[in-house]
Chain A
């Protein structure tokens, strides 16, 4: 083991575990349907995973600081509606660049609002984001007025469906986000602060670290990344409607928790969350391949829930074994 701390060793072990599960899942799916490993299919799975991967980078850091954000799905819905309304020629008809810029700003602003309520309002993040989850969904429905937006300009759809050098734009964007997030988490003082605040808030405060600014940052970042995910994810569809993003927060939280980030804060890596995203993406494809039809969507949610429970059970067992050496 490379790490000298218990937490470090656990984290390492956990990531290998998720990687193992992922490989197992890929093997099973390929056995059932060999076309899974075809290049085109792999690319499709990765493109579908991109939005979750992008948001997971931010959400991992939020959970590391001992907070949570379950409003990302509703925020995505709202941002999708806003993006559609701004760029659709039948409505505001703004240039795509302006529409995207405004969407990014709005995402960051909502994330910032969440942070303000948590940090300054001292409202627990579960309450803030639970309220936001509902209020934003309602706002989205009011904005959409029960209609669909179907005339998205091609320049906008490029982000979801276009390619650069044969690789989909969404994967480029995801890669950039992932690399930057990993660098942030491991190499910068801000990253260190994030883990310190989550690992031992009292010590962090005594050491003079600004817990408030750190938490404000991670919430704003998550809002911003949700906007990024909206731009590359929602544009894969040809229709924008008010149900977009429902259940997305559960998916991302599942990926993060399964990937080894502990709800009690202080530990968790972006790599782990990414493995979690890939694992869940593979499971979803598996369900589709089983040709269950509609059933796959019903059981998908149940499976996500079961995954979280299994992940925390595993954590518990691992921790007990660690504690067995007094």
Chain B
């Protein structure tokens, strides 16, 4: 048992003294450096007005990054989050078109997300397929389904009362932001302070040992993938409410951003380590990088190159430092 407790914290304790949050500190420094450079290149970018406007883009990414963090800590991965989001959005749109209230449609979307995520989980847990292959397959399957049942038509015209979920504010805080803050807090508490969270780390560190120690590995994994689907459903609702349009190509490439944000945030792709705080910083970094590139050069293609390179480099650096700590 002491080995399991040790592994959760020992990496940080043995390296660089006792400070546990080195990775997050480096990230924060990087973020500041990025913002400074951006501000020097174009001061308007840093203005409060611009930043709040740009922040409307980030909530879906941030929401998806929360369960992704836990999934990657267990050594898994979920490539289908973007496709699940699209499928949920299409369900919402089609049910609204069929005359159902968008609120009920939102519930349908959430249920679709949970079901889609649960299917992922079932294949991972029962059929014992590597999550990479499962979610690669469902990435295609769900996206294809979304395109097929919607015929790639956009659906819009949602009522203002619904759009407020995506665009409204409560006490000055954007509603999606409030939802995300609550979710992030919940995720952080679960991961850091509950037996469930400790089990998640245990599975990532040594799944066999966790299993024989009585950890309900299958149930936990199933739950995590279902949660990822639920987050995709929620993200879909927020997106549709904000943009007033439901279309099958939503969330394309989202999985790359989410995984990059999580990995950048210090979660090891090999599993066993990671923190919500780190993920939050990773999300912020990705968001600001994206927005600045779009702002300054107005070319989405550059973003693709930057984020793709960022993913590889962040894991590369992670793997270099990991080696140094364990040797």
Contacts and interface: CB of A to CB of B under 8 A. Distances in A.
B7 to A, nearest CB: 20
B277 interface: no
Interface string B306-325: 11111110011001000100
B127 A316 contact: yes
Interface in B269-327: 269-270, 299-312, 315-316, 319, 323
B140 interface: yes
Interface in B119-143: 123, 127-130, 132-134, 136-143
B144 A137 contact: no
B319 A135 contact: no
Interface stretch (B145-153, B197-205, B235-243): B145-153
Interface in A271-326: 294-295, 298-309, 312-313, 316
Contacts of B148: 295, 298-299, 302
Contacts of B316: 117, 121, 123
Contact of A301 (B77, B144, B270, B308): B144
B125 to A, nearest CB: 12
A306 B134 CA distance: 10
A138 B147 contact: no
A216 B291 CA distance: 36
Given A312-B129, A313-B127, A303 B305 contact: no
B144 A300 contact: yes
A141 B147 CA distance: 24
Contacts of B308: 130-136, 138
B138 A264 contact: no
Contacts of B152: 298
B169 to A, nearest CB: 33
Given A131-B312, A312-B133, A142 B319 contact: no
A146 to B, nearest CB: 9
A263 interface: yes
Contacts of A309: 123, 134, 137-138, 141
B304 A138 contact: yes
A253 interface: yes
A163 to B, nearest CB: 34
Sort chain A's interface into a size bin. 35 or more
Max chain B Cβ within 10 angstroms of own Cβ: one of A126, A139, A305, A309: A305
A301 B137 CA distance: 9
A176 interface: no
Interface in A169-185: none
A139 B306 CA distance: 10
Contact of A302 (B132, B144, B299): B144
Given A142-B299, A305-B138, A308-B133, A126 B319 contact: no
A128 interface: yes
Contacts of A254: 137
A121 B311 CA distance: 13
A305 B152 CA distance: 18
Contacts of A299: 144, 148
A121 B315 CA distance: 9
A138 B256 CA distance: 13
B319 A123 contact: yes
Nearest to A145: B301
B159 interface: no
Contact of A137 (B139, B147, B304): B304
Contact of B140 (A126, A131, A304, A316): A304
A134 B253 contact: yes
B259 interface: yes
B65 interface: no
Interface in A91-138: 117, 121-124, 126-128, 130-138
Contacts of B134: 309, 312
A70 interface: yes
Contacts of A307: 137
B91 interface: no
A190 interface: no
B263 interface: yes
Contacts of B302: 138, 142
B43 to A, nearest CB: 27
Contacts of A142: 299, 301-302, 305
B303 A138 contact: yes
Interface of B: 77, 79, 123, 127-130, 132-134, 136-145, 147-148, 151-152, 253, 256, 259-260, 263, 269-270, 299-312, 315-316, 319, 323
23 contacts: A70-B136, A123-B315, A123-B316, A127-B312, A134-B256, A135-B308, A135-B312, A138-B305, A139-B301, A141-B301, A298-B144, A298-B148, A298-B151, A302-B141, A302-B142, A305-B137, A305-B140, A305-B141, A308-B140, A309-B123, A309-B137, A309-B138, A316-B129
Given A126-B77, A130-B311, A312-B133, 11 more contacts: A124-B315, A134-B305, A136-B308, A138-B302, A263-B130, A263-B133, A299-B148, A301-B140, A301-B144, A303-B144, A316-B128
Interface of A: 68, 70, 117, 121-124, 126-128, 130-139, 141-142, 247, 250, 253-254, 257, 263-264, 294-295, 298-309, 312-313, 316
